Amino acid sequence: MSETPDDLNKKLLDEAGRIINAANEKDVTVRLLGSIAFRYHCPKYVKYLDVMDRKLTDLDFASYSTERDKVEKLLAEMGYTTQSYVLIAAVGLGRSLYWKEKDKQLKIDIFWDRLKMNHTIDFAGRLEFDKPTIPLSELLQEKLQIVKLNAKDVKDTLVLLLEHEVKEGSGDKEIVDIASILQKASTDWGYYYTFTTNLKRIQDYLREIDMLSEQEKSTVHERISMIRMAFENVPKSLAWKLRARVGAKKKWYMEVQ
């Protein structure tokens, strides 16, 4: 009998737990990101990811390059391998790809020090703040930095903002603290533009969601509106203002390779 998407979901969730537990036992810094991280951090509303048919495909982790030897030793002990040509190419992009020798469906992408995609999310000094996932602020940024936001990323973001309050300077692990997001948005027009555009898209998408109650939709809408207002009100740097004059006529993001 062939493996179903639900079987793969369970396999990936189980494997994520095994890796996190092994990393904790050996005091290795490994944090989940990607859709599985949203499932871990949103237990109350994770049901909606299932209802919205949010499938899992692989495992994404963040770590520090200073711990790379320890991480790779841990993965090797758990049956993971890579190829030199894959490793060299990926490390140039700040990431490494591994897969389990006995089960090629189990693939791991590790981002070292930062998530470098359409925009860069720096993990310096942040991975210690939460576990087993990257902090909520970085989880939100992971999705909002995607220029071509798709339905699966919208679903993850909706569940995150439904489950967690949003504040500036909270410091609470269960609240999305947007202080660092605002700091970057005040100096980087491209980052600001992508994020505010995506927040508007997500609000528009809310109208098409049937399974959320009107109260739940209102909660997400209000939290997004709060973030958008904070983006508009934060003082902007001179560099931001000069780049804003050019606008989207010039590419404001990096291409994902």
Strand partners, 80: 100
- For the cut 80, the answer to whether the pLDDT of residue 125 exceeds it is yes
Residue 24 covered by a domain: yes
255 lies in a domain? Answer: no
Q: Does residue 195 fall inside a structural domain?
A: yes
Does 57 map to a domain?
A: yes
Q: Which residue range forms the structural domain that includes residue 53?
A: 5-249
Q: Which of 144, 122, 146 is nearest to 134 (CA)?
A: 122
Asked whether residue 128 is domain-assigned, the answer is yes
Domains identified in the chain, total number? 1
Residue 254, in any domain of the structure: no
Tens digit of each residue's pLDDT (9 = 90 or more) over 47-74: 888 877 777 888 999 999 999 999 999 9
pLDDT, one tens digit per residue, over 174-214 is: 999 999 999 999 999 999 999 999 999 999 999 888 889 99
Selection from 34, 10, 235 nearest residue 142 by Cα: 34
C-alpha triplet 102, 108, 113: angle, nearest 5°: 150
Report which residue type is found at 135: P
Within a domain: residue 45? yes
**90 pLDDT exceeds 60?**
no
Residue 256 belongs to a domain: no
